[in-house]
Amino acid sequence: MADRKKLLVIGNGMAAMRLLEELDARGADGFDITVVGAEARAAYNRILLSPLLAGEMGWEDVCLKPDHWYAERAIRLVLGDAAVALDPAARLVTLASGRVLAFDACVLATGSAPIRLPIPGNGLHGVRTFRDVADVDAMTGAVAGGAPAVVIGGGLLGIEAAYGLARRGVAVTLIHIMDRLMERQLDAEAAGLLRKAIEAKGITVLLEAQTAEIVGETHVEAVRLKDGRTLPCGLVVMAAGVRPEASLAKAAGLGVERGVLVDDSLATSHADIYAIGECVQHRGACYGLVQPAYEQAAILARVLGGEMCGYPGTVVATNLKVSGVPVFSAGDFEGEGGEHIIYRDGALPAYRKLVLRDGRLVGAVLYGDTADSLWYLELIREGRPVRDIRPFLAFGQAYAEAA
């Protein structure tokens, strides 16, 4: 149909896939959709890279949609051919192969790029990041001979990489520059419980440890720390964070600070070019999380369909299993100056910390038992007064509502 708008989606990760699903659910007959992905594989669930590395899942378990799903919806997939240039005025995108694609509307869903620490030896063979399926394949090959591994970074990605390797029988040392694991998501007590759980799986955890260099001539032989300790290994995994992948947008002259700047309609500084997911900076925030990307995708599908609506931002929440342990945090979980309600159950073990201000729940950390996490998140997001149920709040929704 000649009147169908050409919609070009650059990126084929989880944000892009959710946008396609949202458009499909709303009836995307008005769009002629092309999706460009730098990776040779179609969209997959990056959250499941750890069980894929551990050998607990296969590709069919992490792949988000089979090939026929795209074909049935007449969505053209261009894989293994990264977008290298964007011309907003001409509405053209050039791919690495030299192919040029025209669009009426374009969505940038370029995600984020792993941070590679600028230390001596970071280019040696056997140094990997933990971001995609290619990393998993390379890591699996690197430890096939039984060499120990060192993971740099005690955030979620680092812990998941260490867990996946340990499940393969690899001797793993996890080093982290901070004084606790997952300091952005957990308070000190929950992080201490998590450390014990990780160490129980055979992973050595070194905190307040800074990497000085990676030792080797052509291949990784060891990691040397600033305090002089040397950790022999055949694989180093850098899991020290990610940054928004905004280079394409910046080169095209779009508004970029830390990420691609978007307004509440997810529009960039140029008409008919939008952005969602980890590449985005909205109201000063770069989320780097799946849930905000999904919320942005839902809003953008409505915007592209002609609705007047806006993305208000997301109350950041972490709700997942870390190395098999359920953890949850949301809002101001450190709660400096607020009222703290603490619940502990050493038998599970389980831990809850709730933070109140002015009679309202503003933050929460749950460890081990996260059954009530969505209820706590709802209370935080809605800002409802909780004075009446305050004595029962730590025991969960059913108990509080019954009382």
| Segment 26-58, tens digit of pLDDT | 986 789 999 999 999 999 999 999 999 999 999
Task: Render pLDDT for 211-265 as a digit per residue (tens, 0 to 9).
Answer: 999 999 999 999 999 999 999 999 999 999 999 999 999 999 999 999 999 999 9
Is position 118 within any domain? no
Give the closest residue to 376 by CA, choosing from 391, 388, 360, 387.
360
The arithmetic mean of pLDDT across residues 13-23, rounded, is 97
Is position 223 within any domain? yes
Whole-number pLDDT of residue 333: 94
Examine the domain organization and report whether 357 and 369 are in the same domain.
Answer: yes
Whole-number pLDDT of residue 401: 87
Whole-number pLDDT of residue 320: 82
**Sign of the torsion formed by the C-alpha atoms of 146, 152, 157 and 160:** positive
User: Sheet containing 204-207: which strands, arranged edge to edge?
Assistant: 127-129, 235-238, 149-152, 172-176, 204-207
b/e sequence 262-275, b meaning 16+ C-beta within 10 Å:
beebbbbbbebbbb
The arithmetic mean of pLDDT across residues 358-375, rounded, is 96
How many structural domains is the chain composed of?
A: 3
Give the closest residue to 49 by CA, choosing from 110, 109, 124, 130.
130
What range does the domain containing 345 cover? Answer: 317-402
The arithmetic mean of pLDDT across residues 310-337, rounded, is 90
**Model confidence at 324, in pLDDT bands (50, 70, 90)?**
confident
Whole-number pLDDT of residue 119: 97
Is position 122 within any domain? no
Mean pLDDT lowest among 90-94, 107-111, 178-182, 398-402: 398-402
**The token pair that represents 16 in the structure block:** 């892009």
Task: Render pLDDT for 182-216 as a digit per residue (tens, 0 to 9).
Answer: 999 999 999 999 999 999 999 999 999 999 999 99
Is position 106 within any domain? yes
Name the DSSP letter for residue 245: -
**The token pair that represents 59 in the structure block:** 């590709």
Whole-number pLDDT of residue 316: 84
**The token pair that represents 279 in the structure block:** 């590449």
Examine the domain organization and report whether 375 and 272 are in the same domain.
Answer: no
**Model confidence at 403, in pLDDT bands (50, 70, 90)?**
confident
Share of the chain above pLDDT 70, in %: 99
Is position 310 within any domain? no
Give me the residues paired with residue 327 across strands: 320, 367
Characterize the bridge pairing of strands 31-37 and 273-275: unpaired
The arithmetic mean of pLDDT across residues 168-195, rounded, is 96
Is the pLDDT at 318 greater than 70, yes or no? yes
Examine the domain organization and report whether 66 and 90 are in the same domain.
Answer: yes
Examine the domain organization and report whether 132 and 108 are in the same domain.
Answer: no
Whole-number pLDDT of residue 1: 46
Examine the domain organization and report whether 109 and 37 are in the same domain.
Answer: yes
Examine the domain organization and report whether 140 and 55 are in the same domain.
Answer: no
Is the pLDDT at 135 greater than 60, yes or no? yes
Examine the domain organization and report whether 246 and 228 are in the same domain.
Answer: no
Residue predicted with more confidence, 109 or 349: 109
Is the pLDDT at 328 greater than 60, yes or no? yes
Is the pLDDT at 2 greater than 70, yes or no? no
**The token pair that represents 100 in the structure block:** 């040029």
Is the pLDDT at 136 greater than 50, yes or no? yes
**Model confidence at 323, in pLDDT bands (50, 70, 90)?**
confident
Is there a contact between 290 and 14 (Cβ–Cβ < 8 Å)?
yes
Domain boundary residue among 304, 327, 357?
Answer: 304
- Compute the mean pLDDT over every residue in the chain, rounded to the nearest whole number: 95
Is position 215 within any domain? yes
Name the DSSP letter for residue 355: E
Q: Count H helices, E strands: the chain?
A: 11, 25
CATH number for the domain harbouring residue 71: 3.50.50.60
Give the SS3 label for residue 15: helix
Task: Render pLDDT for 95-124 as a digit per residue (tens, 0 to 9).
Answer: 999 999 999 999 999 999 999 999 999 999
CATH number for the domain harbouring residue 383: 3.30.390.30
Share of the chain above pLDDT 90, in %: 91
Is position 119 within any domain? no
* Residue 195 neighbours by CB distance under 10 Å: 21
Examine the domain organization and report whether 339 and 360 are in the same domain.
Answer: yes
Euclidean distance between CA atoms 15 and 108, whole angstroms: 10
The arithmetic mean of pLDDT across residues 131-155, rounded, is 93
